[in-house]
Amino acid sequence: AELYGLERWGNDYFGLSAEGMVTAKTLNSSVALMDIVDGMTERDMKMPVLLRIENILDAQIYRLNTAFANAIEKVNYEGRYRGVYPIKVNQQAQVVEEIARFGARFSHGLEVGSKPEMIAALAMLEEPGSLIICNGYKDQEFIDLGLQAVKLGFKCFFVIETTTELPIIIERSRVLGIKPLIGVRAKMNTQVSGHWNTTSGDRSVFGLTATQLIEVVDRLKQEDMLDCLQLLHCHLGSQIPSIQEIRSGVIEACRYYTDLMKEGASLNHIDLGGGLAVDYTGARCASEQSRNYTLDEYCEDVVETLKQTLDEQNIAHPTIVTESGRATVAYSSILLFNILDTTHFEPVSLPGVSTNEPNQLKNMRAIIEYLTADRVQECYNDAHFYRHEIRELFKRGATDLRTRSVAENLFLDIMHRIISLMATLERIPPDLANLKESLADIYYGNFSLFQSLPDIWAIGQLFPIMPIHRLNERPDRQAVIADITCDCDGKIDRFIGDPEPTNTLPLHKLIEGEEYYLGVFLVGAYQETLGDLHNLFGDTNVVSVRLGNEGGFEFVKEIHGDSIADVLSYVEYNPKEMQVRYRNTAERAVREGRITARERQQMINTFNTSMQGYTYYEKES
Establish if 83 lies at the interface with ligand PLP (CB under 6 A). Answer: no
Phi, psi of 453 (to 5 degrees): -135, 50
Least Å from the CB of residue 380 to ligand PLP: 46
Q: Which of 1, 51, 87, 89 binds ligand PLP (CB under 6 A)?
A: 89
Cα 264 to Cα 204, 207, 223, 225, 353, distances in angstroms: 27, 20, 14, 11, 93
Q: Is 173 in the site for ligand PLP (CB under 6 A)?
A: no
With CB under 6 A as the contact rule, the residue among 239, 258, 333, 403 that binds ligand PLP is: 239
480 lines the binding site for ligand PLP (CB under 6 A): no
Q: What distance in Å separates the CA atoms of residue 248 and residue 512, rounded to the nearest whole number? A: 56
**Residue with the CB atom nearest ligand PLP in the bound state:** 274
Q: Which residue, 273 or 467, is less far from ligand PLP as judged by CB? A: 273
323 binds ligand PLP (CB under 6 A): yes
How many Å apart are CA 16 and CA 532, to the nearest integer?
A: 33
Least distance (Å) between residue 585 CB and ligand PLP: 49
Residue 502 is inside which H or E element, if any? Answer: none
As measured in angstroms, the least distance from the Cβ of 386 to ligand PLP is 54
| By the rule CB under 6 A, 183 interacts with ligand PLP | no
- The least distance separating ligand PLP from the CB of residue 49, rounded to whole angstroms, comes to 24
How far CA 234 is from CA of 184, 185, 194, 205, 319, in Å, comes to: 9, 6, 17, 13, 14
Instruction: Answer yes or no whether residue 109 interacts with ligand PLP by CB under 6 A.
Output: no
Count other Cβ atoms within 10 Å, centred on residue 513: 5
Q: Which is nearer to ligand PLP, 200 or 238 (CB)?
A: 238
Residue 562 binds ligand PLP, judged by CB under 6 A: no
Q: How far is the CB of 472 from ligand PLP (least distance, A)?
A: 36
- Rule CB under 6 A: choose which of 86, 183, 207, 241 binds ligand PLP: 86
Using alpha carbons, list the distances in angstroms from residue 354 to 318, 370, 387.
86, 21, 17
Q: Minimum distance from CB of 235 to ligand PLP (Å)?
A: 4
Q: Which is nearer to ligand PLP, 89 or 456 (CB)?
A: 89
Nearer to ligand PLP, 1 or 234 (CB): 234
Q: How far apart are CA 194 and CA 269, in angstroms?
A: 27
Residue closer to ligand PLP, measured from CB, 58 or 413: 58
Tell me if 300 sits within 8 A of 71, measured CB to CB.
Answer: yes
Question: Please, are residues 234 and 269 in contact by the beta-carbon 8 Å criterion?
Answer: no
- Minimum CB distance to ligand PLP, residue 335 (Å): 19
Question: Counting contacts by CB under 6 A, is residue 192 touching ligand PLP?
Answer: no
26, 60, 135, 541: which one contacts ligand PLP (CB under 6 A)? 135
- Please state whether beta strands 22-25 and 30-32 pair in parallel, antiparallel, or not at all (unpaired): antiparallel
* Smallest distance from ligand PLP to CB 2, Å: 29
Q: Are 578 and 569 in contact (CB under 8 A)?
A: no
Least distance (Å) between residue 199 CB and ligand PLP? 7
User: Any idea what DSSP says for residue 495?
Assistant: B
Applying CB under 6 A, among 22, 276, 335, 371 the residue interacting with ligand PLP is 276
Residue 291 as a binder of ligand PLP (CB under 6 A): the answer is no
Residue 36 vs 118, nearer CB to ligand PLP: 118
Count CB neighbours of 44 within 10 A. 10
Taking the complex as a whole, the smallest distance from the CB of residue 200 to ligand PLP amounts, in Å, to 11
Residues 434-473 that bind ligand PLP (CB under 6 A): none
Instruction: Please enumerate in sequence order all residues whose Cβ is within 8 A of that of 181, keeping only pairs 6 or more positions apart, or say none.
Output: 150, 155, 156, 157, 158, 228, 230, 231
Residue 55 engages ligand PLP in binding (rule: CB under 6 A): no
Q: Is 326 a residue that touches ligand PLP (CB under 6 A)?
A: yes
Rounded to 5 degrees, φ, ψ at 156 are -100, 110
333 binds ligand PLP (CB under 6 A): no
| Residue positions counted in the chain | 621
**Please, what is the end-to-end C-alpha distance for the chain in angstroms?**
31
CB contact at 8 A, 76 and 97: no
Query: Is 486 labeled as catalytic in the residue annotation?
Result: yes
Among 235, 291, 317, 387, binds ligand PLP (CB under 6 A): 235
Contact 456, 588 (CB under 8 A): no
Alpha-helical (H) ranges within 88-242 are 93-103, 115-124, 140-152, 165-176, 210-222
* Residue 10 binds to ligand PLP (criterion: CB under 6 A): no
| Cross-strand partners of 110 | 85, 132
Strands 491-492, 477-482: parallel, antiparallel or unpaired by DSSP?
antiparallel
Among 144-152, 165-173, 323-331, 602-610, the segment contacting ligand PLP (CB under 6 A): 323-331
Give Cβ neighbours of residue 557 (< 8 Å, ≥ 6 apart). Answer: 52, 94, 542, 543, 544
What binding mask, one character per residue, do residues 255-274 give for ligand PLP by CB under 6 A, x or -? ------------------xx
- Judged by CB under 6 A, how many residues of this single chain contact ligand PLP? 16
Q: Is 482 in the site for ligand PLP (CB under 6 A)?
A: no
User: Which among 32-40, 285-293, 321-329, 610-618 is the span making contact with ligand PLP, rule CB under 6 A?
Assistant: 321-329
228, 234, 379, 486: the catalytic one is: 486
Which residues of the shown chain bind ligand PLP in the complex (CB under 6 A)?
Answer: 86, 89, 111, 135, 235, 238-239, 273-276, 323-327
Instruction: Give me the active site residues, please.
Output: 486
